[in-house]
A and B are shown apart, each in its own frame.
Chain A
Amino acid sequence: MHYLVNIGLETHVQLKTRTKMFCGCLLSTETEPNTNVCPVCLGLPGALPRANKEAVKLVVMSGLMLGCEIARHAEFARKNYFYPDMSKNYQISQSGAPLCLGGGVEIHEGGVPSGAPKRIRLDHIHLEEDAAKINHYARHSGVDYNRCGTPLMEIVGMPDLASPDEAMEYLQRLREILVYAGVSDCNLEDGNMRSDVNVSLRPEGSDALGTKVEIKNMNTFKGIHAALEFEIARQTALLQAGGAVVQETRRWDGDLGETFSMRTKENAHDYRYFPEPDLLPVDLTEEQVEAWRALLPEAPEAKRERFQSQFGIPAYDAGVLAAQKPLADFFEATVAAGAPAKPAANWIMGDLLRLLGAASLDIADLRTVTPASLASLLKLVEAKTVNGPTAKELLEEIFEKGGDPDAIVKERGLAQVSDAGAVEAFARQAIDANPKPVAEFRAGKKASLQFLVGQVMKLSKGKANPKLAAEALAKLLAEG
């Protein structure tokens, strides 16, 4: 019996605001516990939440990037449960009326670039507050409320993913888009992007989803991939042995590489959601939404296509360049500065990335080589003012110390010699100085010509135009 997999992700993304969701406390990166908290964070009697407009804006921008319908009427709701990480013993979230509805993320079938395009549907996106951090010690547990109230956006995907690899591509695309939009850093190490995943198996041929198992709160893509693979194998074995999957929440243990039943009363929970009376509803006007739409950057997908059509560069190049906004911006700026598009793409993806890699430098932090200087270098190459090898050396030099290629070429007379007379002079010297190869050439050993060209380059200190050199040599040797 063969089984098909359905995976759905609920991804919590920390929004890039200055302050918390419902109070003016600084978004804490503080390691000293309980130093970014106030009466609201602590749920003191009489404390009231105050919704942060920036967080609403960032969620709406995300929704627009992901093709969601932006709700005209959104409400906050209280989700009731007792746990020390929620100071009020209810979490302010959104239930009946979230900010964004629908939408989707484009991936490839199988999670591989060669796969057919596939759209993973989103159910909705809502805004909520993060919980506090609980630390466990030998004899007691301690709570640090610094993180309590951090704005989170929960992106609820449909169970459209068919494999762990598709889940990976989904998360990478999602991350790419959100970082692009500037709504989050999606820093996995800092837990900026955490996912609850649910997995279910169904026999091939059946459309009805199987019993789903949820694995909660994972923050690394690798962990999610491994957990999914383990869970799919576990469920497959279970089903093939004629067993049944129990609906439950499991915990992923990365060290052991296994999921474990959490045995919590997850299903016994009765959250008693109801409208949050301390916060007024958010009724977004067309004008407001359009104003925020205007702030959106171009989506990577769209940029890929535009690069191909506008600059006539191959799909692969367009993909590589569009994948990182700084790289894409550098490329466009270079072309805008007059560089021919194809060479610009090649040089950026080739030599420039190599140099950046060697210096382990991010292109966003690159100050020496500018789009302008790269453009003028590429123009010199195009005009055959300098030859390839010289250009490479120049790029390396500019990468080191910066500077303007035109100036350097002038000042050092690096321009290649394309004057036929001058090249012929070098050719003659080469012939006179190397009777043996000359004889061999005349005897029919064509390869010897390359040696002589090399000699011409040497004599011209690399400045001779190699093509002219070969022509001049051939002519002179023919004359005999």
Chain B
Amino acid sequence: MAGIDISSLSVASAQDALRRGDFTSVELTQSVLDAIAAKDGAIGAYLTVDAEGALAGAAEADARRRAGEDRDLLGIPVAMKDIFNVKGQPCTCASRILEGYVAPFDATVVARLRAEGAIPCGRVNMDEFAMGASTEHSAFQVTRNPVAPDRVPGGSSGGSAAAVAGGIALASLGTDTGGSIRQPASFCGCVGLKPSYGRVSRYGVTAFASSLDQVGPIARDVEDAAILLQAIAGADPHDQTCLDRPVPDYRAALAGASLEGLRIGVPKEYFVEGTDPQVMALVRAAIEKAAAAGARVEEISLPHTEYAIAVYYIVATAEASANLARFDGVRYGRREVGPDGSLQSLYDLSRTHGFGPEVKRRILLGTWVLSSGYYDAYYNRALKVRTLVRRDFEAAFAKVDAILCPVAPTPAFKLDSTVNDPLQAYLCDAFTVPANLAGLCGVSIPCGRTADLGLPVGLQILCPPFEEPRLLRIARAMETLL
């Protein structure tokens, strides 16, 4: 039977159906491809769809199942942010500078998904090199919020969230450097999980800011997020920053999730002027439900929160200025040589015309904060304040098991509303960047919709590094309450 309705199908229930034999992976994958064909025109989530490869992968998965294999992701199509190397596929990072590049290797997360039997079915849109919070900085196309087509899906993993929310992917992988998984999940009404720094390999994931980037899932519910994390987590010899820590059974951690006796911290710095009252109200309501369900809620303080954005935009852009230096038109990607035919002109023109304005802006800022005379005043100072931000959380987690707060100060905003005021756009990351600076794990789960326009609003849950089981258990418990 083709024509499976995948618009609200979860990975877990799809897997149950595959196990029961209700449908095959080929049928499921075909249904996803059909849904993309039917709906993506209005959303614009996918940059490229590998129908042939996906169906071949599905056929292989069906064969593996017939051979007796049984895995949570066997035969499940997954949408991939355009930032991952998938052997034989393009990897543009939504940038013109990577035009023509075809990945000669699989990112570790891709290799692990394949080993689990998952099928990379297409590449979804993003802000160029993951720099942005609206996906409007893609060099290729606009991606619309499936819930409110005149609004952004958030970003930078906007395509990943829009595909899941728009019913054209069961689940997807994104990356989160300063909120790029959690914020679009909040804007689109999905679950978005940013693992602890060092939990998931970054090998083969085009780097934005090496000390902040993490790969994570965007899914329809907490269980699906746990299933995907299970597949991708764990040490990797190809990434020395991916730590050799045991990988617990995340799905099992969800069983009998309860908030009884849990100590929940609510940071007062996250409930301040400038946050949309409806967002504030929905998040507060969720916290009250947690209290009603037996959680011990207390107000806490994270005193250096107000400095997090400044630290983030210095550290992230500094690292990016070096990480993006390799895009020079010499070994791969776009090349443009000037009339004088010089190497200098090759560098200058390939980069000037290859990068969009937001990427240039951040490279300029990052180059400057490292340049002689400014290193100590800006970069090194930011690293020290990062230490203070980290200590804030260490102190907080000495008192509470988890922190509950908003993901973003607003619901999804209108297309074209921020691109002309970069600083305003940066300030919107205020609630998400601290978790990256401190290496925490965090998740965004839907906690209702705004009364006026029915826009999704996310609740952010933060836990200490490598406490994903606790994080997921709390998220699951909240999910059932909301």
* A–B touching in complex (CB under 8 Å): yes
Among A84, A141, A143, residue most surrounded by chain B Cβ atoms (within 10 Å)? A84
Q: Give complex CA distance A89, B107 in Å.
A: 22
Q: Which of B140-148, B151-159, B369-377 contacts A (4 or more CB under 8 A)?
A: B369-377
How close is B173's CB to chain A, nearest CB, in angstroms?
13
Chain B 83-104 per-residue mask, 1 if CB under 8 angstroms from chain A, else 0: 0110000010100001001011
Q: Give complex CA distance A80, B369 in Å.
A: 13
* Contact with B325, one of A51, A80, A84 (Cβ below 8 angstroms): A80
Whether A274 pairs with B202 at a CB distance below 8 angstroms is no
Whether B331 pairs with A43 at a CB distance below 8 angstroms is yes
Q: Give complex CA distance A46, B101 in Å.
A: 13
Hey, which chain A residues are within 8 Å of B275, CB to CB? Answer: none
Whether A45 pairs with B98 at a CB distance below 8 angstroms is yes
* Contact with A48, one of B91, B93, B238, B332 (Cβ below 8 angstroms): B238
Q: Give complex CA distance A88, B210 in Å.
A: 14
Whether A90 pairs with B330 at a CB distance below 8 angstroms is no
Whether B238 pairs with A272 at a CB distance below 8 angstroms is no
* Contact with A46, one of B205, B211, B343 (Cβ below 8 angstroms): B205
Q: Give complex CA distance A49, B370 in Å.
A: 21
Which chain B residue has the least Cβ–Cβ distance from A23?
B238
Q: Give complex CA distance A352, B182 in Å.
A: 77
Hey, which chain B residues are within 8 Å of A270, CB to CB? Answer: 371-372
Q: Give complex CA distance A398, B318 in Å.
A: 69
Q: Give complex CA distance A48, B210 in Å.
A: 10
How close is B84's CB to chain A, nearest CB, in angstroms?
8
B367 within 8 A of A: yes
Q: Give complex CA distance A393, B37 in Å.
A: 95
Chain A 242-282 per-residue mask, 1 if CB under 8 angstroms from chain B, else 0: 00000000000000000000000000001011100111100
Among A46, A80, A89, residue most surrounded by chain B Cβ atoms (within 10 Å)? A46
Hey, which chain A residues are within 8 Å of B207, CB to CB? Answer: 45-46, 48, 278
How close is B402's CB to chain A, nearest CB, in angstroms?
27
Whether B326 pairs with A48 at a CB distance below 8 angstroms is no
Q: Give complex CA distance A141, B346 in Å.
A: 13
Hey, which chain B residues are within 8 Å of A80, CB to CB? Answer: 321-322, 325, 370
B417 within 8 A of A: no
Asked, given contacts A43-B326, A45-B98, A46-B205, whether A84 binds B238 with beta carbons under 8 Å apart, the answer is no
Which chain A residue has the least Cβ–Cβ distance from B101?
A45
Chain A 58-98 per-residue mask, 1 if CB under 8 angstroms from chain B, else 0: 00000000000000000000101010100111100000000
Asked, given contacts A45-B326, A46-B107, whether A280 binds B370 with beta carbons under 8 Å apart, the answer is no
How close is B208's CB to chain A, nearest CB, in angstroms?
11
Whether A46 pairs with B370 at a CB distance below 8 angstroms is no
Chain B 309-343 per-residue mask, 1 if CB under 8 angstroms from chain A, else 0: 00000000011011001111011100000000001
How close is A252's CB to chain B, nearest CB, in angstroms?
24
Asked, given contacts A82-B347, A84-B343, A88-B326, whether A42 binds B331 with beta carbons under 8 Å apart, the answer is yes
A44 within 8 A of B: yes
Whether B375 pairs with A274 at a CB distance below 8 angstroms is yes
Which chain A residue has the least Cβ–Cβ distance from B372?
A270
Hey, which chain A residues are within 8 Å of B332, CB to CB? Answer: 42, 44
Give the secondary structure class of B's interface: loop
Whether A277 pairs with B347 at a CB distance below 8 angstroms is no
Hey, which chain A residues are within 8 Å of B204, CB to CB? Answer: 46-47
Whether B240 pairs with A274 at a CB distance below 8 angstroms is no
Asked, given contacts A78-B322, A80-B370, A82-B325, whether A48 binds B203 with beta carbons under 8 Å apart, the answer is yes
A50 within 8 A of B: yes
* Contact with B93, one of A45, A87, A90, A277 (Cβ below 8 angstroms): A45
Hey, which chain A residues are within 8 Å of B375, CB to CB? Answer: 272, 274
Asked, given contacts A89-B326, A89-B328, whether A48 binds B206 with beta carbons under 8 Å apart, the answer is no
Which chain A residue has the least Cβ–Cβ distance from B206?
A45
* Contact with B104, one of A44, A49, A84, A141 (Cβ below 8 angstroms): A44
Asked, given contacts A48-B238, A277-B210, whether A84 binds B330 with beta carbons under 8 Å apart, the answer is yes
Q: Give complex CA distance A278, B347 in Å.
A: 25
B249 within 8 A of A: no
How close is A82's CB to chain B, nearest CB, in angstroms?
6
Whether B325 pairs with A90 at a CB distance below 8 angstroms is yes
Q: Give complex CA distance A58, B175 in Å.
A: 38
Q: Give complex CA distance A183, B408 in Å.
A: 55
Hey, which chain A residues are within 8 Å of B326, CB to CB? Answer: 43, 45, 87-89
Q: Give complex CA distance A213, B113 in Å.
A: 56
Asked, given contacts A44-B332, A45-B91, whether A272 binds B371 with beta carbons under 8 Å apart, the answer is yes
A39 within 8 A of B: yes
List residues 353-390 of chain B with CB under 8 A from any CB of chain A. Answer: 367, 370-372, 375, 379
Q: Give complex CA distance A84, B325 in Å.
A: 11
Chain B 229-270 per-residue mask, 1 if CB under 8 angstroms from chain A, else 0: 000000001111100000000000000000000000000000
Asked, given contacts A82-B347, A84-B343, A274-B322, whether A48 binds B239 with beta carbons under 8 Å apart, the answer is yes
Asked, given contacts A50-B238, A84-B343, A89-B326, whether A274 binds B318 with beta carbons under 8 Å apart, the answer is yes
Whether A143 pairs with B330 at a CB distance below 8 angstroms is yes
Hey, which chain A residues are within 8 Å of B107, CB to CB? Answer: 46
Hey, which chain A residues are within 8 Å of B240, CB to CB? Answer: 48-51, 278-280
Chain B 202-223 per-residue mask, 1 if CB under 8 angstroms from chain A, else 0: 1111110111000000000000
Hey, which chain A residues are within 8 Å of B238, CB to CB? Answer: 48, 50
How close is A261's CB to chain B, nearest CB, in angstroms?
20
How close is A84's CB to chain B, nearest CB, in angstroms?
5
Hey, which chain A residues are within 8 Å of B371, CB to CB? Answer: 270, 272
Which chain B residue has the least Cβ–Cβ distance from A39?
B105
How close is A52's CB to chain B, nearest CB, in angstroms?
11
Chain A 136-151 per-residue mask, 1 if CB under 8 angstroms from chain B, else 0: 0000010100000000
Whether A278 pairs with B331 at a CB distance below 8 angstroms is no
How close is B383's CB to chain A, nearest CB, in angstroms?
8
Hey, which chain B residues are within 8 Å of A88, CB to CB? Answer: 322, 325-326
Chain A 395-412 per-residue mask, 1 if CB under 8 angstroms from chain B, else 0: 000000000000000000
Which chain B residue has the least Cβ–Cβ distance from A139?
B341
How close is B370's CB to chain A, nearest CB, in angstroms?
4
Q: Give complex CA distance A459, B230 in Å.
A: 96
Q: Give complex CA distance A241, B222 in Å.
A: 81
Q: Give complex CA distance A270, B322 in Å.
A: 13
Chain A 188-232 per-residue mask, 1 if CB under 8 angstroms from chain B, else 0: 000000000000000000000000000000000000000000000
Which chain A residue has the least Cβ–Cβ distance from B328?
A89
How close is B357's CB to chain A, nearest CB, in angstroms?
21
Which chain A residue has the least Cβ–Cβ distance from B202?
A48
How close is A409's CB to chain B, nearest CB, in angstroms?
62
Hey, which chain A residues are within 8 Å of B319, CB to CB? Answer: 274, 277
Hey, which chain B residues are within 8 Å of A49, CB to CB? Answer: 240
Which chain A residue has the least Cβ–Cβ distance from B327?
A45
How close is B390's CB to chain A, nearest CB, in angstroms?
15
Hey, which chain B residues are within 8 Å of A39, CB to CB? Answer: 104-105
Whether A280 pairs with B241 at a CB distance below 8 angstroms is yes
Q: Give complex CA distance A47, B201 in Å.
A: 11
List residues 88-119 of chain A with CB under 8 A from any CB of chain B. Answer: 88-90
Q: Give complex CA distance A273, B371 in Å.
A: 9
Among B93, B331, B347, residue most surrounded by chain A Cβ atoms (within 10 Å)? B331
Q: Give complex CA distance A44, B328 in Å.
A: 11
Hey, which chain B residues are within 8 Å of A87, CB to CB? Answer: 326, 331
Asked, given contacts A84-B343, A278-B240, whether A46 binds B203 with beta carbons under 8 Å apart, the answer is yes
Hey, which chain B residues are within 8 Å of A141, CB to CB? Answer: 343
How close is A55's CB to chain B, nearest CB, in angstroms?
14
Q: Give complex CA distance A273, B375 in Å.
A: 9
A-B pairs with lowest CB-CB distance, top 6 = A89-B325, A277-B211, A272-B370, A277-B210, A45-B206, A46-B204
12 new A-B contacts at CB < 8 Å, known A50-B239, A272-B367: A44-B85, A44-B104, A44-B331, A45-B85, A45-B91, A50-B238, A80-B370, A88-B322, A141-B343, A270-B371, A273-B370, A278-B240
A-B contact pairs, 5 of them (CB 8 A): A44-B331, A45-B207, A87-B326, A89-B326, A272-B375
Interface residues in chain B, defined as those with a beta carbon under 8 Å from any beta carbon in chain A: 84-85, 91, 93, 98, 101, 103-105, 107, 202-207, 209-211, 237-241, 318-319, 321-322, 325-328, 330-332, 343, 347, 367, 370-372, 375, 379
